[in-house]
């Protein structure tokens, strides 16, 4: 969907690419561990009569990313070989014999079995809306991203001090 250009990753209300490399690596680690990852929220514009009435023909853009741009961008980078993780996080059966502890790997380095197994393991829920306007997309973005209270550095440092350093 992303690579075919059917999904608009950066509608005007969406923020830019703001995750650090470490945040991206942490997402891949979370997926490897089976940690639940929040749903990606998209708006279906393509065959949405309300959208066509209010905003016009969306052209080739069938979906707009309301929430989850950083996660989608991270997965695209991983698949393209632009994001590396420690090789020891991956079952050696999914890698060639050339990899050793301390090396990093990307999805491109996985053998066919590894790509298939990780594709099945990397599950992120998808929530699809059918909102009739850009204004409603933006309001949904605001509602999702203004709820809750961010964790402070003290909270995260406390958890980090108790966490195991390896996967």
**Which tens digits make up the pLDDT trace of 66-119?**
999 999 999 999 999 999 999 999 999 998 778 877 899 999 999 999 999 998
Confirm whether 65 is domain-assigned: yes
Of 54 and 83, the one with more pLDDT = 83
Using pLDDT thresholds of 50, 70 and 90, give the confidence band for residue 2: low
CA-based nearest residue to 137, from 70, 50, 18: 50
Can you read off the two tokens belonging to residue 105?
A: 């790997």
Residue 118 lies in a domain: no
pLDDT value of position 98: 81
Q: Identify which of 113, 79, 110, 78 has the alpha carbon closest to the alpha carbon of residue 95.
A: 110
27 is a domain residue? yes
Judging by beta carbons within 10 Å of its beta carbon (0-12, 13-18, 19+), is residue 63 exposed, middle or buried?
buried
CB 127 within 8 A of CB 117: no
What is the per-residue pLDDT for 67? 97
pLDDT the model gives residue 84: 97
User: Is residue 104 situated within a structural domain?
Assistant: no
Average pLDDT in the 41-49 region? 91
Domain count, the chain: 1
Average pLDDT of the residues in 26-52: 93
Find the mean pLDDT for residues 54-69: 88
Residue 108 maps to a domain: no
Residue 40 lies in domain = 7-83+123-162
Within a domain: 113: no
Which pLDDT score, from 0 to 100, does residue 163 have?
82
pTM score of the predicted model: 0.85
pLDDT at 58: 78
Domain-embedded: residue 99: no
Identify the pLDDT of residue 155.
Answer: 78
* pLDDT higher than 70, residue 39: yes
Residue 52 domain-assigned (yes or no): yes
């Amino acid at each position: 969907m992303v690579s075919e250009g059917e999904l608009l990753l950066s509608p005007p209300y969406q923020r830019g690419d703001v995750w650090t490399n470490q945040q991206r690596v942490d997402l891949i680690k979370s997926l490897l561990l089976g940690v639940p990852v929040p749903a990606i929220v998209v708006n279906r514009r393509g065959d949405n009569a309300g959208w066509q009435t209010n905003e016009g023909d969306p052209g080739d853009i069938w979906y707009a990313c309301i929430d989850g741009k950083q996660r989608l961008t991270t997965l695209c980078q991983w698949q393209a070989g632009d994001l590396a993780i420690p090789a020891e996080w991956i079952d050696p059966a999914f890698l060639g014999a050339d990899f050793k502890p301390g090396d990093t790997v990307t999805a491109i380095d996985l053998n066919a079995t590894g790509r298939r197994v990780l594709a099945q393991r990397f599950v992120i829920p998808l929530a699809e809306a059918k909102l009739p306007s850009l204004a409603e997309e933006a309001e949904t973005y605001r509602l999702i991203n203004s709820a809750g209270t961010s964790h402070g550095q003290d909270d995260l440092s406390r958890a980090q001090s108790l966490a195991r350093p390896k996967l």
